[in-house]
Structures are given as structure tokens and as C-alpha cells.
Structure 1
Amino acid sequence: MAEVDARADRRSEGIVINDDWPGYSLDLFSYPAHYSGDLDCVIVPHGVIMDRTERLARNIMDDLGDHDIVVLCVLKGGYQFCADLVERIKALSRNSNHTIPMRVHFIRLRSYLNDQSTEDLHILGAEDLSFLAGKNVLIVEGIVGTGKTMETLLEHVKAFKPKMIKVAGLLVKRVQHSLASVPDYVGFEIPNRFVVGYALDYNEYFRDLNHICIISESGKKKYKV
């Protein structure tokens, strides 16, 4: 990635994609034909996501190896990242002296209408998380924007008195007025643009896209509700 600043020595920041990064031409990749005209560019190709996810799995193994953990997968946008991350942790556990026994629980957050985050946050499946008491928790999220949603979720989870909470976020947006809280494990820090693909959606579309792409203005209009 020509315009990427990889600050690999500061793991919590992830791979930094600069604001002036134009992305990759869609012509370089395969993607569903039904999204023709709906995308501007590929910002993170699928193969790069996979490689970065493997590195995050290694970091988590280094930090949490031999701890029992409960993985709290944030649906729907985090399901693909969570599935791939868990698979890579399991693969590392099979070939290591360290191991991480894992349970996976799913919750769903919803705060977006079209491309705008709203104050109306719904947490589904998190009404009773009493089984987290005394447990090591790894929250896995697809994307973190202002951090308000994550802060609300963290406060909710803390109320059930887990032993430890770590957060893995595939994407973190650079946005104004963002909260100081940053995931412990970050895949990519990206510009403040609306991205779709790899289970991230726009009104439930684009989840079937393997790459992470920037949606076009015509795409927003086409799928607006």
C-alpha cells in the first residue's frame, strides 16, 4: 500500500491508512457484479485483511495465552472478522505450547440510519451477561467510529464484573470528537469515510463483499431507506 503509514511498533494503533490514500481501482479485483457503480474503490483488499487478522491473533495469543476467555462478537458487522480471528487463534493454539480455551457469545448493536450514526443505540442479546462475572472477555467489533457505541457497550459489560476486558477492532475511523478509548488490538486506522464489505453494511447491503470498500454517492442513494 503506497500511501499507508505502518507504525508496526505501536500495536494498538494498527496499520494507518492516510487521508489522501486513493484506494485501489475496482478493476484490479473481483467483486459482485450487482454492486457495479455502487463503490468508489477498494480501501483494504481481502488478502490484506486476512494477513492482518493473523497478526492480531498472534498478539492476542502473546497477551492472553493460557487464559480462558469469552469472545463477545458484536453483530452484524463484526461477525466475519470475529469468525476469522477465532479460527486463527484456534490454529495457533493447536501448534503452540500456549492455548486459549474460548467461548463465543453474540450480541447485536444498531445505531446507524443510512450513513449517519444516531443517538438511539440498541443492544440486543446483552440483557443478561451474568456469566461474564470473573471471566476474561474479548469484545470483537468490525468498526469503531466516534467510540460512543463502544463506550456504552463497555459500561454495560463492566456492570457484570468480568475479570478483564480487551477489545479487538478491525477498523478504527479517524473522526472529530472521538473518545479517548481505543481498542487494545486494531487492524487498520482509516479515514473518516463510509466503508462497506467484509460484513460491514449499508442498510443491510454489501455484507457479501469480500474486500473493504468505500461506497459511492450513487450507491448511498440507491440503497437509502
Structure 2
Amino acid sequence: MPCGRWDSNLGLLQEQPLMDNWPGYDLDLFTYPQHYYGDLECVLIPHGIIVDRIERLAKDIMKDIGYDDILVLCVLKGGYKFCADLVEHLKSISRNSDRFVSMKVDFIRLKSYKNDQSMGEMQIIGGEDLSIVLCCANMLLLTLSDVVGTGRTMKALLSSIEKYKPNMVKVASLLVKRTARSDGFRPDYAGFEISDVFVVGYALDYNEYFRDLNHICIINEHGKEKYRV
């Protein structure tokens, strides 16, 4: 996916997927940590647009769930900012509605990448108390992920969750990648659809770097080599 200067004629529609020819925004239009200068190609999705999109996702979720209480299962580490922002919007909507929706948050960590390549197997860390909280009959399990790529990781996680027999499971992902390696899995709620590029920022990392970057950006080859392990 090429990156270049932002063209005001292209725009960036939140409701539409980012096409493969989307050039991204020029880095000079934004502020970002100086220690990442030279490590990025472009800003793919600015922070303000991310936050606005998450607010809309929260409204869609609250509209769909009816009167079910929610257990939010955050997939760490890359999903923590998505989770924090989405939960705040969900709470705000609930407080201003005619029925308060109870929300609980639990965390699980999936480890499947080394550098920018999938290791082909997934490690699940945490979530030991799910059997207790999922015993509630009207509890909706809302699983939050940072990125859905091939879909295999999320399917493996959902398979492990099924043993607890949750009442209802919905998946929300900030990003969905268009990739020929996809097995067809689609989350119930998605923020943005992007091409098959390696992105960092907004808690998405490359070997634990770039989590402190507010925007979602494409890392360049210099950055990959600089932080390779």
C-alpha cells in the first residue's frame, strides 16, 4: 500500500473501508513522539477519527444488545486503548438511557507475533475467572480485539470460550485486514477495514514499541529493522 501526502479530494470516510490505493496522511501534518522519527511511512488513521469511530461503534452495540448486561473481554495488549475508549462510551450511553446496563471488564492476552510475522500458534494468558462471570444467564460477552487478520486467532479464542457456554458472544475489532489468507471470519462490529499492511500505534505494537503513538501508522522498513528482535 503506497503512502504519500494527503489529498483533500480523497477524504477518509469512517463508514467505508480504506482502499489499497489510500495514500495515508503525511507525517508532517501531525505530532507524534520524536523517538519514532524516521520509523514510519505515514499516518493511516488519525487519532481523532479513531475516537469518533469508536463512539459510533458504542452506539451500535448498545442499540443491538437490548437489556443484556455486558462482560467486556479485552484482548491484550493491543486492545487496551480500544477497550478503554469503547467502555467509556458504553458507560456514557448507559447512564443517559432509561435502563442502566451493568458492565464488567476482564482481560486476556494472546501472543502470536514475533517481529511482523505470525508464529503460527497462539498462547492464551489470563481469563481464568470467565467461568464465574459467564454463569449469569443474561450476560453478553463482548470480546474486543485490536486487529482481525486471517481470523484464525479469534476463532481459536472463541473456541476456548465456548466451553463456558456463554449466553451470547459478540466480537468487536478496531481493525479488519483484507488478506488472501483470511478464513472468512468477520467480527460483529468493526472500526476500519484496511489492506494487509503492518500497522502500529493506538496500543498496537512492533516488539513492544509504538504503543505510545496515538495515531495508527504504517511502520517502514527502517523501523522494522531498528526494533527487530
SS at match of 1:177: coil
Q: Which residue of 1 aligns with 2:170?
A: 166
Is the 1:64–1:100 contact (alpha carbons within 8 Å) kept by the matching residues of 2? Answer: no
Measured in 2, the distance between the counterparts of 1:171 and 1:39 equals 19
Give, in angstroms, the shift of residue 32 of structure 1: 0.2
TM-score where L is the length of structure 2? 0.91
Give, in angstroms, the shift of residue 119 of structure 1: 1.4
Greater CA drift, 96-105 or 25-34: 96-105
Aligned identity (percent) is: 60
Give, in angstroms, the shift of residue 128 of structure 1: 5.1
Tell me which of 149, 159, 175 is aligned to 1:145. Answer: 149
Q: Write the deviation string for residues 42-63 of structure 1: whole angstroms up to 9, x where unpaired.
A: 0000000010000000001101
Measured in 2, the distance between the counterparts of 1:98 and 1:217 equals 50
Measured in 1, the distance between the counterparts of 2:203 and 2:43 equals 15
The alignment's C-alpha RMSD in Å is 1.4
Please identify runs of 4+ aligned residues in structure 1 that moved more than 6 A. none
Measured in 1, the distance between the counterparts of 2:128 and 2:101 equals 26
Measured in 1, the distance between the counterparts of 2:128 and 2:185 equals 23
Q: Which residue of 1 aligns with 2:70?
A: 69
Judged with a 3 Å threshold, the aligned counterparts in structure 2 of structure 1 residues 148 and 3 are, in CA distance, closer, same or farther, namely farther
1:121 aligns with 2:122: yes
Is the 2:150–2:185 contact (alpha carbons within 8 Å) kept by the matching residues of 1? Answer: no
Q: Which residue of 1 aligns with 2:32?
A: 31
Tell me which of 200, 203, 210 is aligned to 1:199. Answer: 203
Give, in angstroms, the shift of residue 27 of structure 1: 0.2
TM-score where L is the length of structure 1? 0.93
Q: Which residue of 2 aligns with 1:156?
A: 160
Structure 1: runs of 5+ lacking an equivalent:
9-14
